[in-house]
């Protein structure tokens, strides 16, 4: 009789333990499903954010390509204008040469006229008229030459200014292209890291499902899952920081024991943030 009583107590305790185990498994299953739904919702939000970022980067590429096209068209137009200007200068030079030749011819004719006058006694008014013609030709040639020199100086100044503006635009476009390239590399690395984190989380959740009933292994897997989710969230925050144009901290923070040199200065001091790159070995970057 006492043996039957002990058996009944033991059976009741087993039933209670089984009920508690079923309750724990149900709670864990519900928590796993809830975490799975949250993870899927986060992944969907991240996918939409990535697509939006990729669209923005594509638009930025198109804008830079359009600026490149406009720059090439502007350079082509300036080249055409320069060729026209060179043609005009050539024509003016030829005209100046003709004027000089005409002046020499008039001087020669004057000398011949002087010789003839000495022979034929030409009246004074004729000499005056010849002198006026020669002097007028010389003055005209001088004025044209001075105008030509002034035009050449203006042309040289305009060409130098245009070249400086072109070089400045080239530098700006190169900086924008480099910034965009670095941003794409960082986003791609962040996407790969998030994909790896998703795979790790999925694998851990599958292991948790398989480890039901083993409390010690289940606790270890849940700790690993929590850590993996924290790392995934750090990667998400880092991706958001990259999209804002900043530089994220690496997951895990500063390495313990690293010495920060407070007196050390950035090797690119004064460089705008969007063009700055990490200083080798400096944990403050």
Residue 82 falls inside a structural domain? yes
- Quote the domain boundaries for residue 105: 1-120
> Residue-wise pLDDT tens for the chain (285 aa)?
556 667 777 787 788 888 888 888 889 889 889 988 998 998 899 889 889 988 999 999 999 999 999 999 999 888 888 888 888 888 888 888 888 888 888 888 877 777 776 655 555 565 666 667 776 666 676 777 777 777 777 887 788 888 888 888 888 888 888 888 888 888 888 888 888 888 888 888 888 888 777 888 888 888 888 888 888 888 888 888 877 764 444 444 443 333 434 334 444 445 454 445 544 444 444
Angstrom distance (rounded) from CA 178 to CA 181: 5
Residue 73 falls inside a structural domain? yes
* Helix 215-243, helix 124-210: angle, nearest 10: 170
Residue 134 falls inside a structural domain? no
List Cβ neighbours of 248 (8 Å cut-off, separation of 6 or more): 237, 238, 239, 241, 242
Q: How many domains does the chain have?
A: 1
Residue 77 falls inside a structural domain? yes
3-state SS, residue 12: helix
Residue 227 falls inside a structural domain? no
Residue 273 falls inside a structural domain? no
Residue 128 falls inside a structural domain? no
């Amino acid at each position: 009789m006492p043996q039957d009583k002990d058996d009944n107590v033991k059976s009741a305790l087993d039933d209670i333990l089984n009920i508690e185990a079923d309750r724990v498994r149900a709670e864990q299953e519900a928590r796993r499903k809830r975490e799975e739904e949250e993870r899927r919702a986060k992944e969907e939000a991240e996918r939409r954010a990535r697509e939006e970022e990729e669209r923005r980067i594509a638009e930025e590429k198109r804008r830079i390509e359009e600026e490149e096209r406009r720059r090439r068209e502007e350079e082509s137009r300036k080249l055409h204008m320069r060729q026209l200007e060179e043609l005009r200068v050539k024509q003016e030079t030829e005209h100046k040469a003709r004027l000089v030749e005409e002046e020499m011819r008039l001087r020669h004719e004057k000398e011949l006229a002087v010789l003839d006058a000495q022979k034929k006694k030409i009246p004074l008014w004729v000499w005056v008229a010849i002198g006026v013609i020669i002097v007028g030709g010389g003055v005209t040639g001088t004025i044209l030459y001075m105008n030509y020199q002034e035009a050449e100086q203006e042309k040289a100044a305009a060409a130098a200014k245009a070249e400086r503006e072109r070089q400045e635009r080239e530098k700006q476009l190169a900086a924008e292209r480099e910034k965009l390239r670095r941003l794409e590399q960082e986003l791609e690395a962040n996407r790969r890291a998030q994909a790896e984190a998703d795979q790790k989380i999925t694998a851990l959740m599958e292991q948790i499902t398989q480890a039901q009933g083993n409390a010690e292994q289940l606790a270890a897997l849940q700790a690993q899952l929590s850590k993996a989710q924290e790392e995934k969230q750090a990667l998400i925050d880092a991706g958001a920081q990259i999209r804002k144009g900043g530089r994220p901290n690496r997951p895990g923070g500063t390495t313990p024991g690293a010495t920060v040199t407070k007196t050390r200065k950035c090797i690119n001091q004064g460089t705008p943030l969007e063009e700055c790159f990490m200083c080798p070995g400096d944990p403050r970057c």
